[in-house]
C-alpha cells in the first residue's frame, strides 16, 4: 500500500499499489503456461465398434471363430458344417490342434433344452477348449 502526501486535500489518502500484484500475476501465468503441456492429456479408451451389419466381415476372423450350434431334433453344426454328437469331440480336437487360442462359442435354438447345450459344453471342454462363450440372437444382431 502506498500513501499519497500533499495535494489540496488534507490528511492521508490510502491507495493500493497494484504493480506488485501484476508482477505476481504474470509470474503465475508463465508458470501455468509451462506446466500445462506436461500434464497428461487423458486416458486410453476403447472405442465402441460398429455393429456387424455396418462393418465388413473379415474372412480371416470368420475362419478363426468357431461356433457350435445345437439345433432342434438333436442336430449339431460346427459353423456351417453338419456334425454328430459322437464325432463332435474329435472334430473340435482336429480344428483346435494347431490353434493357440482355444476359444469357441455355442449357440442353441430357443426350443432346445439347456441339458443339450450343457452336454455340448462338456464335450467342448473335453476337446481342450479353454473358453466357451454363449451366442444369443441379440448378440448376433449387434445389440
pLDDT category at 3 given cuts 50, 70, 90 is low
Distance CA 38, CA 85 (A): 61
pLDDT tens column, 58-74: 555 556 788 899 988 88
Q: How far, in Å, CA of 38 to CA of 17, rounded?
A: 35
Whole-model pTM over 0.85: no
Cell numbers placing 21: 500484484
Fold (topology level) of 59-140: Nucleotidyltransferase; domain 5 (3.30.420)
Of 42-46, 59-63, 126-130, least confident by mean pLDDT is 59-63
Per-domain boundaries in the chain: 2-38, 59-140
Give the pLDDT score at 76. Answer: 92
Weakest mean pLDDT among 42-46, 67-71, 116-120, 122-126: 42-46
Question: By 3-state DSSP, what share of the chain in percent is helix, strand and coil, each rounded to 5?
Answer: 40, 20, 45
Amino acid at each position: 500500500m502506498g500513501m499519497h502526501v500533499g495535494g489540496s486535500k488534507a490528511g492521508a489518502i490510502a491507495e493500493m499499489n497494484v504493480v506488485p500484484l501484476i508482477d505476481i500475476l504474470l509470474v503465475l501465468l508463465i508458470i501455468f503456461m509451462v506446466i500445462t503441456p506436461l500434464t497428461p492429456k487423458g486416458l486410453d479408451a476403447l472405442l465402441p465398434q460398429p455393429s456387424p451389419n455396418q462393418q465388413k466381415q473379415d474372412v480371416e476372423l470368420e475362419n478363426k471363430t468357431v461356433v457350435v450350434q445345437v439345433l432342434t431334433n438333436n442336430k449339431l453344426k460346427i459353423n456351417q458344417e453338419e456334425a454328430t454328437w459322437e464325432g463332435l469331440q474329435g472334430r473340435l480336437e482336429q480344428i483346435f490342434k494347431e490353434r493357440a487360442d482355444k476359444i469357441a462359442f455355442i449357440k442353441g435354438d430357443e426350443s432346445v433344452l439347456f441339458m443339450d447345450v450343457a452336454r455340448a459344453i462338456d464335450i467342448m471342454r473335453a476337446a481342450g477348449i479353454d473358453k466357451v462363450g454363449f451366442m444369443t440372437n441379440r448378440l448376433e444382431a449387434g445389440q
